[in-house]
Amino acid sequence: MSDSSASVERRFQGVPVSPGIARGEVWLHRPDDETPPRVDVGAEGVEAEVCRLEAALLQTRHQIQELHHHIAHSIGSEDASVFDAHLLVVEDRMLIDEVLRTIRKEHLNAESVFASVAGRYAKTLGEIDDPYLRERAADIQDVCRRVVRNLMGRQTRLSPPAGAARVLVAHNISPSETAQFLPSSVLGFATDQGSKTSHTAIMARSLNIPAVVALQDISQQVEHGDSVLLDGYRGWVILNPSAQTLAEYGDFERLKGKVEQELVGLRETECKTADGRHVVLSANIEMPRDAALVLRSGAEGVGLFRTEFLYLNGERLPTEEEQYEAYRSVLEELRPAPVIIRTLDLGGDKIMSALNLPEELNPFLGWRAIRFCLERADVFKTQLRAILRASTHGKARMMYPMISGVGEVRRAKAVLSECQAELRAEGLAFDEKMEVGAMIEIPSAAICADLIAREVDFLSIGTNDLIQYTIAVDRLNERIAYLYEPTHPAILRLIRMVAEAGHAAGIWVGVCGEMAGEVALTPLLLGLGVDELSTGTALVPRVKRAVQSLQSKECRALAAAVAEMDSAEQILAACETLARSKYPDLL
């Protein structure tokens, strides 16, 4: 920056991916040229290079495992699962064998060969018109950089300079780099590239680090030490903010603080609409220790307890006793509040090496969740027995994921009956009346919800996958992420269909996907007939405030009005109009 322009305010518009305001000095990250030198090591140096490669791969594997463990324990297993794919790259025999062959054939140093071979793999996958394979290309690039850095003895952690926390500006940041950020050193970050649905954006939101991406050339427009203000709500990066801008954002921060303080006071209040309709407000959790967050949030219980953490954090399958203790601890801490335990949802993007799951070209449509459990009865029964035994320690409920039709529900119920019979024979107690539900996250299940409702005690709509499968869009694919529309008319029809089917069968219907936490969509979900909303603990007070601000009649009127609309944008605008008229400060 020249002296003449140092004090002139400049604004850059990008895509907001993680909410929050960050103000401070720029920490500009321009990585050194990571292209490794090409060195002829001669025939006598080949085996030494092979040993160096094996050591670097082992070091990389340990680093990724540490990252996985850190994220799983600090944020949750869902976010940590990003690194399962990275481990697969390190263990990819086809890739590694080609690198070894090239080293031995051409007598070249390990880092140059690995960078070249992995680069070709990533380039080939990146050009294939398949979202999953393109995501693998990004994984290969991330892991390749880590392996090469280890071979060259360079630091693999993206660390700011010592001193005060900074706002990071870079061309791009990988998920593994984002996962290592500390709020004490990184106030927020802005990048030239990226999208709202990238793994990096998801990681930023999980870590509560404000972020703006897709700024084109922001890394070329700023310098180390520049004063910057980053607005993760509206996507602005403001260089050299003026006194007036700082005052405006100061007012905004004070208002935000006041709203947050008011939300804290809602913890002990009931989640009822202004005209008295009770809406059950639950929380989603990943780990047993999250139970304390549920109590602090003011939720009425747990609407989704993801159990994959037990399987993803170890090299062996968890025992019945280990699972029992985990479920028991949550049930006891939250008693008498209900806790809905989702049975194992491995597969797709969540893979455990001990299970030896086959690699699939399209794992999200493959052998996963209830499909896997019904085929691996040994794994399934161990979990069911643990849940049943823990059910005596609180109000346990259970639900099966990825149900596609009534046949899977019946097969799962048959396995559950076997477990109940075994426990009776062994003299072990369990709740004979524990409620069992089904997740509705596949279009076929939504269309057949009336049939499934006859077999279960409740239905829980997993909107994340329901949207993805209905519209046939991979929400992590940057090219088509714009098609991921929660207010698509087809999605609303399916939600209404499920709610009506559940009520006709005399059971309640909930939503446990991201839609449940979007306060702009709260009136729509209530109008469609949803009885329960389950969201992240941090969002519970906001959703409760939204519910308390609404009238049932106006929610039903909104649902009726949008049923006549034909575009997701028009429907979202109608929802936001009602929401802003009732709780503008939440938006």
> How far does CA 478 lie from the centroid of its chain?
16
Q: What is the DSSP code string of 316-372? A: SPPPHHHHHHHHHHHHHHHTTSEEEEEPP--BTTB--GGGTPPP-SSGGGSS-HHHH
Which ranges of 393-462 does DSSP label H, i.e. alpha helix? 406-426, 443-447, 449-453
475 and 437 Cβ atoms separated by less than 8 Å: no
Cα separation of 21 and 392, whole Å? 46
202 and 480 Cβ atoms separated by less than 8 Å: no
Cα separation of 15 and 195, whole Å? 7
Coil, strand or helix: which one is 212?
Answer: strand
Cα separation of 389 and 398, whole Å? 12
Q: How much is the pTM?
A: 0.72
Cα separation of 465 and 36, whole Å? 41
What's the confidence (pLDDT) of residue 173? 85
121 and 143 Cβ atoms separated by less than 8 Å: no
Reported as half-sphere exposure (CB side, CA atoms, 13 A), residue 584 has a value of: 3
Residue 535 φ/ψ, nearest 5 degrees = -140, 180
What's the confidence (pLDDT) of residue 77? 54
Please give the positions annotated as active site: 199, 512
> How far does CA 30 lie from the centroid of its chain?
28
Cα separation of 269 and 286, whole Å? 25
Per-residue pLDDT of the chain (587 residues; tens, 9 = 90+): 444 455 789 999 998 988 889 999 999 887 655 678 899 999 999 999 999 999 999 998 888 887 777 676 555 555 666 677 777 788 888 889 999 999 999 999 999 999 999 888 888 776 665 544 555 676 787 888 889 888 988 765 566 665 678 899 998 887 777 877 776 789 999 999 887 766 778 778 777 789 999 898 899 999 989 999 999 988 999 999 999 999 999 988 888 888 888 888 888 899 999 999 999 999 998 888 889 889 899 999 999 998 887 876 556 788 999 999 999 999 999 999 999 999 998 754 444 444 555 565 666 677 778 998 999 999 999 999 999 999 999 999 999 999 999 999 999 999 999 999 999 999 999 999 999 999 999 999 999 999 999 999 999 999 989 998 999 987 656 566 667 799 999 999 999 999 999 999 999 999 998 899 999 999 999 999 999 999 988 889 999 999 999 999 999 999 999 999 999 999 999 999 999 999 998 87
Cα separation of 34 and 291, whole Å? 44
> CB count, 10 Å around CB of 425?
8
Please tell me what DSSP assigns to residue 305: E
What's the confidence (pLDDT) of residue 135? 57
Coil, strand or helix: which one is 303?
Answer: strand
Please tell me what DSSP assigns to residue 108: B
- Provide the Cα torsion 107, 54, 126, 348; round to 10°: 160
Place of tokens 């500390």: 182
Strand partners, 238: 11, 229
Among residues 281, 283, 302, the alpha carbon closest in space to that of 522 is found at 281
Q: At what angle do helices 131-152 and 46-74 cross, to 10 degrees?
A: 120
141 and 117 Cβ atoms separated by less than 8 Å: no
CA angle 266, 269, 270 (to 5 degrees): 130
Question: Please, what are the domains in the chain?
Answer: 3-28+165-249 (3.50.30.10), 43-152 (1.10.274.10), 265-354+361-586 (3.20.20.60)
